[in-house]
Amino acid sequence: MTTSNVDFSKMPANGRRATFEATLETLHEKCGGRPVNIVEIGTSRNTIPAAMLADGWSTRVWAWYAAAVGGAVTTVDVAETSMASARVICADYHHCVTFVVADGADWLTHYGSPIDLLYMDGPGDSAFHLACIAALVERPKFILFDDVCPTSEWKAGGSDDPLGTKAKTAIPRLLSGGYQLLWHERFTIHPPSGDRPQGQALLCDMKG
Ligand SMILES: C[S@@+](CC[C@H](N)C(=O)[O-])C[C@H]1O[C@@H](n2cnc3c(N)ncnc32)[C@H](O)[C@@H]1O
């Protein structure tokens, strides 16, 4: 699909195509194709192409979009080795990506620029992701979480376990603070093996 000046069929290969495409199309529509500021916590850490299925290879996707609209990406990761891989994976986009080696929550405490899209994909630790949300100086317009699989029971106020290890405390905090769940999508990373379904959830700041 082509929206305005961005041809989403040209999105670089990744392991979350449906959700990354839906996210960027939403961002593109709501921001009118202007230069956007994308921040990512948890960078693309493995240059082996097979790793994109499990990890996603998000960083290059955000960079591709930022390059198309004249925007910027900041990717933050605590591991030097992860950042070295991201630099290789994003070799075509160094002009619009800032690579930061730091703890994500610490770094966000000092980051005061407006964020259009925050991608939360750090360690499998809900306390870390909650700390990142609590550290935000500015309210991002959109926040996308990886490894989230909300169910109808969760939406009705039941168990929050399907929110997974990353977002299970951060998403309820955001919902009570004026964010709305725009959509979530389930996907299975290794379909034949019967791995548990994973997914992604996009939230929007309704106060912004
Ligand atoms: C699942 S990977 C990110 C995958 C990437 N978003 C992609 O789509 O390819 C998680 C990353 O979080 C990083 N990480 C772990 N603890 C962190 C912290 N405290 N602050 C920032 N990043 C952290 C790890 O080093 C790792 O590279």
Using alpha carbons only, give the angle 37, 24, 50 rounded to the nearest 5 degrees. Answer: 100
Question: Is the pLDDT confidence value at 149 over 90?
Answer: no
For position 155, what pLDDT does the model report? 47
What separation in Å is there between the alpha carbon of 70 and the centre of ligand 1? Answer: 25
What separation in Å is there between the alpha carbon of 102 and the centre of ligand 1? Answer: 11
Strands (E), the chain: 2-3, 6-7, 37-41, 72-77, 97-101, 117-120, 142-146, 179-187, 198-205
Distance in angstroms (rounded) separating the CA atoms of residues 105 and 69 = 28
Distance in angstroms (rounded) separating the CA atoms of residues 151 and 26 = 22
Q: Provide the 10 A C-beta neighbour count for residue 188.
A: 13
Model confidence pLDDT, tens digit, residues 88-147: 999 999 999 999 999 999 999 999 999 999 999 999 899 999 999 999 999 999 999 998
Phi, psi of 182 (to 5 degrees): -80, -45
For position 1, what pLDDT does the model report? 47
Question: Is the pLDDT confidence value at 156 over 90?
Answer: no
Distance in angstroms (rounded) separating the CA atoms of residues 135 and 172 = 16
Distance in angstroms (rounded) separating the CA atoms of residues 195 and 208 = 37
Q: Which domains does the chain have, with CATH numbers?
A: 2-205 (3.40.50.150)
Q: Regarding predicted confidence, which is higher, 161 or 148? A: 148
What separation in Å is there between the alpha carbon of 192 and the centre of ligand 1? Answer: 26
Residue 2 region, left (φ>0) first, then alpha (ψ -120 to 50), else beta?
beta
Which residues does ligand 1 sit against, CB inside 6 Å? 41-45, 55-58, 76-79, 82, 103-104, 121-123, 128
pLDDT band at 158 (very low <50, low <70, confident <90, very high): very low
For position 186, what pLDDT does the model report? 76
Best probe residue, ligand 1, of 121, 146, 166, 189 (max atoms within 8 Å of C-beta): 121
What separation in Å is there between the alpha carbon of 1 and the centre of ligand 1? Answer: 30
Distance in angstroms (rounded) separating the CA atoms of residues 115 and 1 = 25
